[in-house]
Amino acid sequence: MRDTWRRLLAGRWPYWLAKLYLKRRRYGCRALCSLALTGADQVRAWYRGERPVVWTTAFVPTELIYGMGIMPLAVEVIAALVTGMGLAPRLLSAAEASWYSSDLCSFHRTVMGGALLDWWPRPVALVASTHLCDGAPRLFHNLGRLYGVPVRIIDVPAEFSSEARAYVAGQLRELSRWLAEVTGRKFHPEGLARALDLSNQARSWLMEANRYRRSDPSPLPGQQALDFLWLGFMGQGGEAAAGIYRQLALELKARAEASGTGPSDRHRLLWLHLKPYYRTELWDLLSEHGAVVAFEEFSHVYWPELAPDSPWTGLAQKMLSHFSLGPVERRIEVIRQLVRDYGCTAVVQYGHWGCRQSNGSTGILKEALEKDGVPYLWLPGDCVDARTYAVGQTLTRLAAFLEMLEARRPPGGGAHRGERNGSGSRD
């Protein structure tokens, strides 16, 4: 990116104008507007280089990064952001022109394309984790060479013993020393304690928001909920997340209470994995059939509260708690629980191209859910690369599935099992 563009992105006026535009845009809920404004602040801070920027991959505990006064940049989020702005095709082409195969995950190709074109805020270091995504550490090794910056990989074993916890906790403690060295920021236990507290507050408000999402009719469509992933991947431990989740929870509470006597959802879906971040007709098709994404596995709070007196063990436990880590039975159990809790009548898995960790268990998930009498659809697609989006095929598959759900509805309706106002037990 030319230096003039970098200067523009760091300037005051472009952000003032961008925020004016963001404030005037229409959002599904006010919390999404707050999220967009916070995102704009964060982007400006990256380009201004106010503090060192460390790039991370999903599930690296950003509490540690914020706790040291460093700014995290989660690469998956940045790929989703530029996809929403219609810029991904240019970056994908740049990566492919440098021999990054189109068989690789498009989140990664977009990030690499942007790095090759020098679009991104430059990192001082890169931190990836091995859990779930095999491609992420490899991408970071390549990026480290490209930018000439050091890379640290957190090795997360797929086992849940106290030894595994101690092993990851030791790496995190060591990571704090390493970050201090490569960024020049000192590690202060009080900084980390503050970040853990903010993370716990965010967790608590997200759980509260999720509680209202049990309501029927659903107060928040899943395609909007999946935009809050910015906070999930990059906001934990930061100042903004708790406030935005709080705003969301209060909005959903008001909606759930106001719609208590309204018509119920016809079909409530549980959504697995992420969504297309470009414009798509998928959501219109769902609503034409009276279907709503009532909940998504990525919005599920799967980790325990972080104890301030054992920060490393707590963060290690959080990393190890992810439901997709280890045997597929863990993910199946969580899916079953979410189907029950959110009154879902069917499950749709968005099959993002190139994502082994999510798609590898498709057949097993289908078998397990169908045994429970829960219809399941694997919907192949791509979250980022709209060039491969086979519109007709995707819509036809989804429409056929929705018609099958309709045919299974008992006469007189009432197939769903959601709560009327989200007042059930907590997440």
Binding positions for ligand SF4, rule: CB under 6 A: 76, 105, 107-108, 132-133, 135-136, 352, 354-355, 357-358
Look up residue 253 and give its two tokens: 């509470």
Q: Pick between residue 215 and residue 359 the one whose CB is nearest to ligand SF4.
A: 359
Q: Pick between residue 58 and residue 405 the one whose CB is nearest to ligand SF4.
A: 58
Q: What per-residue string of b and e applies to 207-231 under the rule 16 or more CB within 10 Å gives b?
A: ebbbbbbbbbbbbbbbbbbbbbbbb
Q: Pick between residue 240 and residue 365 the one whose CB is nearest to ligand SF4.
A: 365
Task: Determine contact, residues 43/9, Cβ cutoff 8 Å.
Answer: yes
Compute the least distance from the CB of residue 343 to ligand SF4, in Å.
28
Compute the least distance from the CB of residue 104 to ligand SF4, in Å.
8
Compute the least distance from the CB of residue 276 to ligand SF4, in Å.
12
Q: Pick between residue 107 and residue 119 the one whose CB is nearest to ligand SF4.
A: 107
Comparing C-alpha atoms, which of 48, 36, 43 is closest to residue 11?
A: 48
Compute the least distance from the CB of residue 99 to ligand SF4, in Å.
18
CA-CA distance, 296 to 263, in Å (whole number)?
Answer: 22
Compute the least distance from the CB of residue 318 to ligand SF4, in Å.
17
Compute the least distance from the CB of residue 274 to ligand SF4, in Å.
7
Q: Pick between residue 141 and residue 173 the one whose CB is nearest to ligand SF4.
A: 141
For 154-190, give the DSSP string: E---S--SHHHHHHHHHHHHHHHHHHHHHH-PPP-HH
Compute the least distance from the CB of residue 411 to ligand SF4, in Å.
41
Comparing C-alpha atoms, which of 52, 56, 60, 48 is closest to residue 14?
A: 48
DSSP secondary structure letter of residue 5: H
CA-CA distance, 223 to 28, in Å (whole number)?
Answer: 10
Please report the sign of the dihedral spanned by the C-alpha atoms of residue 231, residue 139, residue 154, residue 132.
positive
Q: Pick between residue 382 and residue 419 the one whose CB is nearest to ligand SF4.
A: 382
Comparing C-alpha atoms, which of 381, 382, 358, 350 is closest to residue 92?
A: 382
Q: Pick between residue 212 and residue 350 the one whose CB is nearest to ligand SF4.
A: 350
